[in-house]
Structure 1
Amino acid sequence: MAASVQGGRIGNLPAEANAFVGRQLELAEIAGLLGTERLVTLTGPGGVGKSRLALRAAHAAKAGLPGGAWLVELSELRDPDLLTNTVAQATRLTEQTLQPLLQAVCEHLAGAPVLLVLDTCEHVLDECARVVQELLANVPELRVLATSRQPLGVPGEHLLTVAPLPLGERDDAVSLFTARAAAAVPSFALTDANRADVAAVCARLDGIPLALELAAVRLRGFPLHRLLEGLDSRFDLLVSPARPRLARHQTLRTAIGWSHELCTPLERLLWARLSVFAGGWDVEAAEFVCHGGPLDAEEILALLASLTEKSIVTRDGDGAAVRYRMLDTVRSFGAEWLAGLGEVEAVRRRHRDYFRWIARQGEAEWLGPGQRMWAERLTAERANLRLAIEECLAAPEPETALELTGSLWFFWFACGFTEEGRGYLERALRRAPDGSGPEHTLAVWAHRLVTVVPEDLDAAESVSAAYVWLADERQLPVPALPLTGASLAVRGESARSAVLYGRVGQAPAADGGAEFFQLLTLALQAYLLASQAAFERCAAVAERLRTECAKRGELWMRGWGDFFVSLAGIGLGHSDEALLSAREALTAKWRVHDRLGAAAVADLLVAAQAARGEEELAARLLGISRRLWHAAGLPQLGRPDRTVFHREYERRLRASLGDARFAEVVREGWELGPDAAIALALGGVSDVSGP
């Protein structure tokens, strides 16, 4: 018997209470899937909008379904044995029968294409899986659209993860908040004056539709800026006064708490402990930081998989690059539980100590074939490193902060974070102004090292003395590095720098523990020679640097070797060779996330292409160069605008293209996205991954 028409329409879909906002890509994908798949399950965390999206998709599909579109709301169901009865009632099966009820439902739905929407399946998951499998086997015309915080696990199930709404001043999250705010407070409108605050509210709430709707209603009693300030206690602030809302959606706390109730005790404990991470984590980090008590390290991977299935944790990447993360709202819920357990201090200490160990490992392995891996790993862990540093700075022993910030010298110096590193090092050193010992010495040296790049180069003149202390602490038989001369060269005092430097051809001493200093000395030699226009000797030293780096499988310093070979080539008029070396340098710099180095290399590409007669390409690369310097947030190393070739090529480009065309093409380069810009700079290569 076919499903009947009720009240002049087929199905039981409720009218939508307000306008549906955004999700056009998801709706199109669901429509396509329902045309080819028999079971589609929308998964995602609580409050992300699975139910509303499924309802909108069902309304869009019902015109093509002679058997109707039927909504089965399961959130209030507590007894799984009543699931089939709930489906029967929702689809208006009213006839009395002696046959098994599920068989009667199958016959009731058969005869025409029909859609069954099972909303909120996670708490009766096993019974849902059994019933759906039976329905699909016996009703060939049936399509099922389910919503659940974890998959049903039925053969043939197609999963579609519903993410939070896109963030940004003109994206769906802002549109939804604005629409609901205007409904709650008719005078509210999005303006240039409040756009940034609205975007900030949406970002603080992770773009979660439920949170945005609850926040919008609070504008009846709070001005926007007060609402933004109050989001620090979001679970208390975001309470719905509306009676019709489902119980699990009355407050943000109960929406997230619904997921918490579905977890086992060990899953809840892991959720709470994971809340100490910022920005994400990998399995190793979770095992180290979150083990203890009833939670063994060996259990954590399986528990992470379970939390991922339940949409509490999100998994990104594959293989060794797999990382996990939580929405900030979900993390905040876990943090409250961690505080209730009285474990905050202990778990934060383990988090701090884990990243101290990671920093030491990265320092030990930086000069070698694992360099790119370490650059990517520490860049991914940047938020956790910040958190660990803050924890160290708050510790009573200043040595922990000195050690961590100093051990990360290679990250600050080589991966484009010199300004940030300098700030942390200064804070750590202020806590121990009269300090001594290896941690203090390392931090002093690291601080002096990162000052080679920013504008206050006077501080770099004391780095040689700092290195004497460091060499003594670490028993490194390497003479003091001539960074005093280098700092003068950076400021254009190349003649004086040559006198202070001494014999530029002198080879540095070599020692296993001093490899970085050996390579850096060669790079400084090349820098000083280039600043004096001694291009042939510069190329010879740079080739030695490249050879030494190749022996170690080292990328970052090898990129500087390529840089100076290219610079010497430009100086000698060998533009084709200079172009090839500059592209090799950019590839290396981009792969290890060295934004400063990439910007410096881009300047060489401008000069090389201009010298080859590629005026428009050179001008476009100039725009890319300016954008890279802007992204690096640092002054241009060595002030390339002061060099003869830089001024000459820019003058030539303006003369050749005309001021208007020159400005237009430079702007085009500036507006390119990072990937497109690097691909253009590399001559169309698009497989170089970077920051």
Structure 2
Amino acid sequence: MVAGADISPREAEVLRLVGAHLSNAEIAARLVISVRTVESHVSSLLRKLGVPDRRALARRAPEPAGAAPSQPAAVLPAPLTSFVGRLRERAELAGMIKACRQVTAVGPGGVGKTRLALAVAAEAAGEYSDGAWFVDLVPVADPGMIATAVAGALGLGEQPGRDMTESVVAALADRHALLVLDNCEQVVNGVALFLERLLATCPRVTVLVTSRARLMVPFERVYEVPPLSLPVAGESDAVALFMERAAAVGRPLDPPPRDQIAAICERLDGMALAIELAAARYPMLGLDGITAALSHPLRMLTGGSRADQRHRSVRAALDWSHALLEPADRALLRRVSVFAAPFTAAAAAEVAGSEEGLVADGLARLAAQSLLVVTASPGGTEYRALETIRQYGMERLAEAGELVDARSRHLRWCLAEAAGLAVVRADWRARFDLVADDLRAALAWAADRPEQRTDACDLARRLAELTFTRNLTGESQRRYEQAAALTTDPADGASKLRQAAAVAGCRTIGDDMYRLRRAAAEAARGSGDGAGAAADLATAAVIAFRFSTTFVRLPPREEVLALITEARELAGDDPAAQAAVALAEAAVLTDAFGAAQGPPGNAVPETIARAGHAVELARRTGDPLAESAALDALTGAQSWAGDTFAAAATARRRITLLSSSPPISPAGTHELIDALGMVTEACLGAGDVPGARRWARRLADHPSLAEVGHRATCRLLMVDALAGNVDEVLTGSVRFLDAWRRAGRPARSLLRPAVAAVAMVHGLRDEHDARREWQEVLDQLGTPTGHTYGYGAVFDAMLLLHRGQASEALERMTPEPGQVWKWVAWIWHHWYVALRTEAAVLAGSPDARDRLAEARTIVAGNPVATALVERAGALLVGDQEGLLATTDAFDAAGCRYQSARTMVLAGGDHAERGAAALADLGFAPIAPIAPFRHPR
């Protein structure tokens, strides 16, 4: 009993529980009596003990005998599921409530505001002597009932002469407590007024509010609750939540396919509710089913175990937020939902069909309701709706019958933006990236609507041009083809198909180049342009020859010859068509195509004559691209004639021609890329290794090859391998292999020399496992004749000679150069001859001297091959001075490996310096060879 008071046993029990900081409801449950009875007992105790409020009453409660001091109360809902992650957010919010007396955690519905607030309050409760108290305002629709809800949570009843706000303020006046007011968005104004009075009167009370909208009061400190973190360096709260909730419904993911889960979480914008609902569907749908269902997330993301109806589906959560909006803001939300990417107020005004000032105010209100995300950018303030909110807005747009109008305004806005992007500025790429998704979305909608076909065609063309400039060549090709399909003008369609073919050329997809040029011919024929059709057919035939290594299925020779015949019939006296036909005759009617496809074609002199004629006709047209293509045919003819230096000179001539005409178009870019590849090979074949490396570097860095790193680096790998640039080969091979795998491991023959070169370098480093891996890649690419007698023989011979296996190297190169030169081709002919000569000398071949004399004649003028042959001659006669003289030649030619090898071959002190040089380059020691013998 409390001294001096007439308190009944039941009142004593109530007093003891009040002292333990239990609410009226908890006391009623503990004593198995009604809440009204508890309230009656509390009122009686207040009167009998003469105390003003429940807090003072609790102080009069006796401590149990031997009991420890009571702990601060934490009257918080017990979570039914574990709290996952958010370590940074918990720390930030906890720090804010320590520093500020009123903090509002804001965010869209389902982001996880309540769970975060509860976790922070539970951790912080011990720091408040009077504990932490939770007030759920979901049921409260009347702002005047906020104090009543708070009083109910605190266990306060009405007191005579006081309204409920006064009762709450009096009860908390000297308390040190944390008050959590949850879900305040529907009564924001009432909460603001209540807290202004509470905080002014209760200096030791801290209030943590959760809401979809800010209170907009001066004493408020706002914490924006972000979505769950998405994967960065393998860590992700979103993935962890999905996995835990999926395991909770009986389907643990073991081993967890994190990449697939991460993709799902990213599509859900890291929204906690959406992720929980998706994970709950895992037993029924699996990850593939969830991914497919996310095309309609609002339909899929339903259910869940939450008692709160607002959180039983994402749609319900959005319905709750939508109902709180004014009609004008609802209209604005649904209209801006057509934007697929962040947008400005000016853009929103155009699409919404309203004044920018009014729209800016509306956007601010939507952002205040956590329905839009606001970010600052160099171009000004930008707004973005999370994907589920955007799709919800689109549904509302359709329901309102405004979808077509809003989409049409969005399409017109996109066309204007695309036109503006045609003016290249320093920030061009950033500006394109900001609107690219909107351009794509507008095009996807318009392409299926006949009345929008003209605008859709225009947007597809502009997007094709923009994505090409942005180096998104795969998309550029698709957009050109889409524009060709949308146009109603066959001539325009033919033009766009030619552009698509050129982009396919930049992507080194010969099959598409050939298909698209033939399609362009059909379109040109349909428009009555016979000359244009002739040029397209002839160009398709040329593609089958010029770019045969980029084909998956090369067309039959008979089919290609038929194209040339048809082109002749259609060309008439049109100069461009005649030039195209002449090029086809020069390129296709050659031993090159014949050797690959059937019986040999024309003799070499006639091939060179045809190519020269094609060059002359192309020059007359004034089209540098046509002339460059004809020069390419001449380069090929000269190489097949065995005139290595003429071929190199013609290849350089192409570069000069194209450099005077900047390649701003797909066709120009494709021609330059091909010319860079050809001049690299031409310089390499002629022994100009520094020049070859310079052109190969420019090719590897070309932005249009960003999607095809294996294609970009293949020639540079060849050059660096022959030069002995180990670090460059190892670095470049990583880019090559990664890009090749990402591209689906294409079996392109043009990649084979690069792979063989990398395999050789690993062999020269005694890295057997790595060499084996690259040999496996080479096997996947196939082993054509060129590997047997061309680059394959050259790289294999270099490795065998390094290992001291001269006889094996000579056997690898058994065929005479005159027998295999067309197989070896102009790039490798001099290298083959020179290395074969060295192998013959080191193997002690009886005809080494004859081979040496023949080799000097063949490679004359080639600095690298000449140095190799002269080194072999010095070895044959024991001329150490002549041998060492070749080191200067190799150094000047940019062949560091051969320079170091020469010193090793010289023996003695020279061998030690050579071995050290090889080690510095990154090569393994050369196998022991017989010491150098001075001539007698």
The 10-residue stretch of structure 1 (261-270 or 168-177) with the greater mean CA deviation from structure 2:
168-177
Of residues 138, 163, 170, the one that matches 2:227 is 163
Equivalence for 2:757: 648
Q: Distance in 2 between matches of 1:612 and 1:140?
A: 79
1:123 and 2:186 equivalent? yes
Q: How does 1:492-507 map to 2 (within 5 A)?
A: 496=587, 502-503=614-615
The 10-residue stretch of structure 1 (414-423 or 161-170) with the greater mean CA deviation from structure 2:
161-170
Q: Distance in 2 between matches of 1:594 and 1:270?
A: 43
Of residues 726, 732, 735, the one that matches 1:615 is 726
Of residues 305, 308, 315, the one that matches 1:246 is 308
Of residues 379, 386, 389, the one that matches 1:320 is 379
- CA spacing shift, 1:506–1:385, aligned 2, 3 Å: same
Q: How does 1:25-44 map to 2 (within 5 A)?
A: 25-44=88-107
The 10-residue stretch of structure 1 (137-146 or 564-573) with the greater mean CA deviation from structure 2:
564-573
Equivalence for 1:573: 689
Q: Any conservation in 1 of the 2:510–2:543 contact (CA below 8 Å)?
A: no
Q: Distance in 1 between matches of 2:618 and 2:89?
A: 64
Equivalence for 1:6: 21
- CA spacing shift, 1:107–1:540, aligned 2, 3 Å: farther
Question: How many angstroms does 1:256 deviate by?
Answer: 0.5
Of residues 92, 105, 121, the one that matches 1:58 is 121
Q: Root-mean-square deviation (CA), in Å?
A: 5.4
Equivalence for 1:513: none
Q: Any conservation in 2 of the 1:180–1:217 contact (CA below 8 Å)?
A: yes
Q: Distance in 2 between matches of 1:345 and 1:573?
A: 62
Amino acid at match of 1:262: L
Identity across the alignment (%): 25
Equivalence for 2:389: 330
- CA spacing shift, 1:34–1:446, aligned 2, 3 Å: same
Q: Any conservation in 2 of the 1:316–1:322 contact (CA below 8 Å)?
A: yes
Alignment deviations for residues 419-453 of structure 1 (CA, whole Å, 9 cap, x no partner): 44444554554567xx5366434433333322323
Unaligned 5+ runs, structure 1: 474-478, 511-516, 667-691
Q: Any conservation in 1 of the 2:106–2:225 contact (CA below 8 Å)?
A: yes
Number of aligned residue pairs: give it. Answer: 633
Question: How many angstroms does 1:306 deviate by?
Answer: 2.6
Question: How many angstroms does 1:51 deviate by?
Answer: 0.7
Q: Distance in 2 between matches of 1:443 and 1:505?
A: 25
- CA spacing shift, 1:624–1:238, aligned 2, 3 Å: closer
Q: Distance in 1 between matches of 2:435 and 2:176?
A: 48
Question: How many angstroms does 1:260 deviate by?
Answer: 0.8
Amino acid at match of 1:56: A
1:369 and 2:431 equivalent? no
Question: How many angstroms does 1:342 deviate by?
Answer: 0.9
1:303 and 2:362 equivalent? yes
Query: Which SS does the other structure have where 2:730 is aligned?
Result: helix
Equivalence for 2:489: 436
Q: Distance in 2 between matches of 1:9 and 1:255?
A: 34
Query: Which SS does the other structure have where 2:736 is aligned?
Result: helix
- CA spacing shift, 1:624–1:467, aligned 2, 3 Å: farther
Q: Distance in 1 between matches of 2:716 and 2:167?
A: 74
Question: How many angstroms does 1:297 deviate by?
Answer: 4.5
Relative contact order: is structure 1 or structure 2 higher (C-alpha 8 Å, sep ≥ 6)?
1
Alignment deviations for residues 614-651 of structure 1 (CA, whole Å, 9 cap, x no partner): 63563233212332455567969x965245x7743552
- CA spacing shift, 1:128–1:620, aligned 2, 3 Å: farther
Q: Any conservation in 2 of the 1:549–1:558 contact (CA below 8 Å)?
A: no
Amino acid at match of 1:288: E
Q: Any conservation in 1 of the 2:718–2:757 contact (CA below 8 Å)?
A: no
Q: Any conservation in 2 of the 1:97–1:104 contact (CA below 8 Å)?
A: no
Q: Distance in 1 between matches of 2:236 and 2:752?
A: 43
- CA spacing shift, 1:80–1:570, aligned 2, 3 Å: farther
- CA spacing shift, 1:397–1:331, aligned 2, 3 Å: closer
1:392 and 2:451 equivalent? no
Question: How many angstroms does 1:341 deviate by?
Answer: 1.0
Q: Any conservation in 1 of the 2:693–2:716 contact (CA below 8 Å)?
A: no
Query: Which SS does the other structure have where 1:48 is aligned?
Result: coil
- CA spacing shift, 1:379–1:561, aligned 2, 3 Å: farther
Equivalence for 1:658: 767
Q: Distance in 1 between matches of 2:323 and 2:150?
A: 24
1:491 and 2:491 equivalent? no
Question: How many angstroms does 1:13 deviate by?
Answer: 1.1
Amino acid at match of 2:734: G
Q: Any conservation in 2 of the 1:615–1:657 contact (CA below 8 Å)?
A: no
Q: Any conservation in 2 of the 1:444–1:466 contact (CA below 8 Å)?
A: no
Question: How many angstroms does 1:269 deviate by?
Answer: 0.9
Amino acid at match of 2:115: R
- CA spacing shift, 1:121–1:462, aligned 2, 3 Å: same
Alignment deviations for residues 218-261 of structure 1 (CA, whole Å, 9 cap, x no partner): 6798888877776666556655485x722422443321011112
- CA spacing shift, 1:386–1:232, aligned 2, 3 Å: closer
Query: Which SS does the other structure have where 1:596 is aligned?
Result: coil
1:21 and 2:84 equivalent? yes
Equivalence for 1:273: 335
Of residues 719, 736, 740, the one that matches 1:625 is 736
Equivalence for 1:405: 460
Query: Which SS does the other structure have where 2:765 is aligned?
Result: helix
Equivalence for 2:400: 341
Q: Any conservation in 2 of the 1:530–1:568 contact (CA below 8 Å)?
A: no
- CA spacing shift, 1:549–1:14, aligned 2, 3 Å: same
Of residues 77, 80, 83, the one that matches 2:140 is 77
Amino acid at match of 2:373: T
Q: Any conservation in 2 of the 1:43–1:149 contact (CA below 8 Å)?
A: yes
1:148 and 2:204 equivalent? no
Q: Any conservation in 2 of the 1:40–1:145 contact (CA below 8 Å)?
A: yes
Q: Distance in 2 between matches of 1:112 and 1:523?
A: 87
Question: How many angstroms does 1:355 deviate by?
Answer: 2.9
Q: Distance in 2 between matches of 1:425 and 1:290?
A: 30
- CA spacing shift, 1:288–1:443, aligned 2, 3 Å: farther
Q: Distance in 1 between matches of 2:632 and 2:364?
A: 51
Question: How many angstroms does 1:110 deviate by?
Answer: 6.4
Query: Which SS does the other structure have where 2:134 is aligned?
Result: strand
Q: Any conservation in 1 of the 2:693–2:720 contact (CA below 8 Å)?
A: no
Q: Any conservation in 2 of the 1:317–1:323 contact (CA below 8 Å)?
A: yes
Q: Distance in 2 between matches of 1:253 and 1:53?
A: 22
Equivalence for 2:410: 351
Unaligned 5+ runs, structure 2: 1-17, 23-70, 530-534, 551-582, 589-607, 776-936
Q: Distance in 1 between matches of 2:546 and 2:328?
A: 60
Question: How many angstroms does 1:50 deviate by?
Answer: 0.9
- CA spacing shift, 1:283–1:6, aligned 2, 3 Å: same
Alignment deviations for residues 348-389 of structure 1 (CA, whole Å, 9 cap, x no partner): 233334334444444x43xx435x615751575246415514
Q: Distance in 1 between matches of 2:73 and 2:677?
A: 74
Equivalence for 1:261: 323
Amino acid at match of 2:767: G
Q: Any conservation in 1 of the 2:484–2:494 contact (CA below 8 Å)?
A: no
Q: Any conservation in 2 of the 1:615–1:653 contact (CA below 8 Å)?
A: no
- CA spacing shift, 1:565–1:197, aligned 2, 3 Å: closer
Q: Any conservation in 1 of the 2:129–2:177 contact (CA below 8 Å)?
A: yes
Q: How does 1:526-565 map to 2 (within 5 A)?
A: none
- CA spacing shift, 1:80–1:556, aligned 2, 3 Å: farther
Of residues 503, 514, 520, the one that matches 1:458 is 514
Q: Kindly name which structure, 1 or 2, has the bigger radius of gyration based on alpha carbons.
A: 2
Alignment deviations for residues 589-637 of structure 1 (CA, whole Å, 9 cap, x no partner): 3xxx86336665555665677678663563233212332455567969x
Amino acid at match of 2:105: L
